[in-house]
Structure 1
Amino acid sequence: MNTHIPDPELWERTVGDIAATLPGATAVFRKYKIDFCCNGDLTLDSAAQRRGVDPSALEHALEVLGSGVEGAAVPAEMSSDELIDHIQACYHEAHRRALPELIMLSRKVEAVHREHPKVPAGLSDALRQMQSDLEEHMTKEEGILFPAMRQGADKFDISTSDFRHEHDDQGTQLRLLESLTDDFTLPEGACRSWQALYVGTAQLAEDLMEHIHLENNILFPRFAATESPA
Structure 2
Amino acid sequence: MKLFTAENTPAYIVKVFPQASDIFIKYMIDYCCGGSKPLKESFKEKNLPRELILSELNTAYQNWRTEDNEVMDWDTVPLPELIDHIVHHHHDYLKNELPALGEFVTKIFRVHGADEPHLQDLHRLYNEFRMEMEQHTIKEEAEVFPLIKQYAENPNPELLQRIKEANGDLEDEHEVAGDLLKKMRSITNGFVPPIHACGSYHITYDRLAELELDTFQHVHLENNVLFAQL
Asked if these proteins are the same fold (TM beyond 0.5), I'd say: yes
Q: Output the CA distance in 1 between the equivalents of 2:117 and 2:53.
A: 32
Cα 1:91–1:111, aligned 2, differ >3 Å: closer, same or farther?
same
The within-5 A match list for 1:37-48 is: 37-48=32-43
Residue 216 of structure 1 corresponds to: 223
Which structure 2 residues correspond to residues 52-201 of structure 1 after superposition, within 5 A? 52-64=47-59, 65=61, 66-68=65-67, 70-117=69-116, 120-152=119-151, 154=156, 155=159, 156=162, 158-201=165-208
**1:91 corresponds to which letter in structure 2?**
H
Structure 2: 5+ residue runs without aligned partners? Answer: none
| TM-score, normalization by structure 1 | 0.85
| Structure 1: unaligned runs, 5 residues or longer | 224-230
Q: Deviations over 1:132-180 (max 9, x none)?
A: 1111111111111111111215322542121111111111111221133
Q: Percent identity, please.
A: 28
Moved more, 61-70 or 39-48: 61-70
In 2, Cα distance between the equivalents of 1:13 and 1:204?
26
AA aligned opposite 2:53: L
Shift of residue 23 of structure 1?
4.1
Q: CA deviation at 1:85?
A: 1.4
> 2:208 is matched by which residue type in structure 1?
T
TM-score, length-scaled by structure 2: 0.85
Would you say the 8 A contact 2:83–2:145 is kept in 1? yes
Compared CA separation, residues 142 and 101, structure 1 to 2 (3 A): same
Give 1:187 deviation, angstroms. 0.6
Would the aligned equivalents of 1:24 and 1:69 in 2 still touch at CA under 8 Å? no
Separation of aligned partners in 2, 1:135 and 1:168: 15
The CA deviation string for residues 170-221 of structure 1, in whole angstroms up to 9 with x for no partner, is: 1111122113322212111211111111011111111111111111111101
The C-alpha deviation readout for 1:21-69, integer Å capped at 9, x for no partner, is 4443323322332111121122111112223322222222332412335
1:227 corresponds to: none
Residues 5, 140 of structure 1: alpha-carbon distance in 2 compared, 3 angstrom cutoff: closer
Q: CA deviation at 1:103?
A: 1.3
CA RMSD of aligned residues (A): 2.2
Q: Which deviations, in whole Å up to 9, do the C-alpha atoms of 1:115-134 show, x marking residues without a partner?
A: 32465123222222212111
Cα pair distance change 1:189/1:69, threshold 3 Å:
farther
Which consecutive aligned stretches of 4+ in structure 1 deviate over 4 angstroms post-superposition? none
Residue 27 of structure 1: aligned partner? 22
Taking a change above 3 Å as real, the CA distance of residues 210 and 5 of structure 1, as seen in their structure-2 partners, is closer
The number of aligned residues is: 218
Aligned mates of 2:2, 2:77 — CA distance in 1: 30
Give the Cα–Cα distance (whole angstroms) in 1 for the partners of residues 20 and 110 of structure 2.
39
Structure with greater proportional helix content? 2
Distance 2:19 2:186 in 1: 26
